[in-house]
Amino acid sequence: MGEASIPKATIVVPVYNSANSVQRCLDSLLAQSERSIQVVCVNDGSVDDSLGVLRQIAQADDRVLVIDQENAGVSCARNAGIDAAKGEAVFFVDADDYIHARTVERVLQAMESSDAEVAVFGGVCEPSDAAPKRVQQLMSPKAGTFGARDPQLLFHSNAQPYACRAAFSRELLNREGIRFAPGLALGEDVVFQFAAYALARRTVVMPDKFYHYVMESESATHEFNSAEARAKKLDAHMRMLEEVLEDWAAYGLLDLCPGELITWFLDLIVFDLARLDADGFHRVAARVNMDLTTFLGTAWADMPAKGAVCRVAHKFVATTSGVSMADATLFYLSTRGLKACLERFI
């Protein structure tokens, strides 16, 4: 790719100790039917031979740019990729994963035809039996086109989490200063999406399953599922909420859909809350109540539309009793329906 040419897309690949998988990932990127691409690989302090593999690939294809940095985490690696991006649209692919050969072509066509600044698409999990039904559902977005500040996109279209199955206008990211939150161990992509989806002038959602999400038992996303890591997971979710609230305050979005934001957050944590002892619940409740009161006011527990959600929310305010498994069951029945509730508890 000549220096004077502007690629249609940049694909950012954060790499950490992925010497055994990054070749497959980059093969899928360099085989894209849309040839006008830039691939920015950010080696995040790998201690294996990832950097050597990347440099060898870059020598063979001048569309590949390799950035080598000290280990700073996936958010900083992706941000470095955004800062180096030259493409009109920015994609993210993790080094363990890969994408369909026509992904960039089809997504750019959808963005152009709908005049969208963001495109969301679907994905498949590999192996398929490693993915909980909830993850499979979230990787299956519902087709549609959405304007700015549309709660339907944020909460009801299976458009988040997983920033890797979306493309973003580089102009949008730079105009609004949207970057990944450094230091988050979980949910950094959710914080990013909550800003981008709300601020993009238009977003197109495609049901096409272009992304191949390779699930490893030791992956950062799924290590939180063990019982021993419950407190760590709760802390990570609360930090994610705090980042979203701070971003939305900065962007003037707090009045957009506070009830749905509260419902979404409690949905993430209510099952783990029901397993906490009284002291553990009081610690979490005090922190959540302080955060939501600070940003949304003292009446935040009355903002959700569903009664079962409000009942759980008020337990955070009163802190006189914890959330029971019966509370969690009624919550999920209200927010997800009977089938999803049974899948969650069985």
Among 64-78, 138-152, 189-203, 320-334, the minimum mean pLDDT is found in: 320-334
Comparing 268 with 10, which gets the higher pLDDT? 10
| 34-42 average pLDDT score | 98
pLDDT bin (cut points 50, 70, 90) of residue 221 is very low
Residue 2 has pLDDT above 50, yes or no: no
Burial of 252 (0-12, 13-18, 19+ CB in 10 A): exposed
The highest-confidence range among 24-33, 148-157, 207-216, 237-246, by mean pLDDT, is 24-33
Looking at residue 333, its pLDDT comes to: 83
| From 202-206, 273-277, 336-340, the region with the lowest mean pLDDT | 336-340
Q: What is the mean pLDDT of residues 26-48?
A: 98
Please enumerate, as own/partner, the contacts of 171-174 that have beta carbons within 8 Å and a separation of 24 or more: 171/88, 171/117, 172/117, 172/118, 172/196, 172/199, 172/200, 172/201, 173/82, 173/90
Provide the residue type at 150 as one letter.
Answer: D
Q: Nearest-CA neighbor of 32 among 6, 10, 59, 3?
A: 10
From the list 272, 261, 51, 234, the residue with the least C-alpha distance to 156 is: 261
Full DSSP string of 263-300: HHHHHHHHHHHTTS-HHHHHHHHHHHHHHHHHHH-TTG
Predicted pLDDT at 101? 98
Q: What is the pLDDT of residue 223?
A: 47
E strands, the chain, in order = 9-15, 37-44, 64-69, 89-92, 98-99, 118-126, 144-147, 166-169, 202-214
Dihedral sign, CA of 87, 14, 214, 263?
negative
**pLDDT band at residue 252 using 50, 70 and 90 as cut-offs:** very high
What gap in Å lies between CA 220 and CA 180, rounded to an integer? 16
Tokens of 232: 């760590």
Q: What span, in angstroms and rounded, lies between the C-alpha atoms of 108 and 93?
A: 16
Report the range of poorest mean pLDDT among 36-40, 260-264, 288-292, 317-321: 317-321
Dump strand ranges (E) for 51-161: 64-69, 89-92, 98-99, 118-126, 144-147
Give the pLDDT mean for 243-255: 94
Please tell me the distance from the alpha carbon of residue 182 to that of residue 192, in angstroms, as a whole number.
11
What distance in Å separates the CA atoms of residue 165 and residue 213, rounded to the nearest whole number? 9
Top mean-pLDDT range of 1-5, 39-43, 228-232: 39-43
pLDDT at 219 over 60: no
Q: Is the model more confident about 337 or about 249?
A: 249
What is the C-alpha R_g of the chain?
A: 20
Please state, rounded to an integer, the average pLDDT across all residues of the chain. 89
- Residue 175, C-beta contacts closer than 8 angstroms, at least 6 positions apart: none
Q: Which amino acid is at 78?
A: R
pLDDT bracket for residue 224 (50, 70, 90): very low
What does the pLDDT look like over 124-178, one tens digit per residue?
999 877 777 778 888 889 899 999 999 889 888 888 878 899 999 999 999 999 9
Residue 98's nearest CA partner among 24, 11, 188 is 24
**Burial class of 319 by CB neighbour count within 10 A (0 to 12, 13 to 18, 19+):** middle
CA dist., res. 115 & res. 113, Å (int): 6
Predicted pLDDT at 222: 45
Give the Cα separation of 133 and 344 in Å (integer): 9
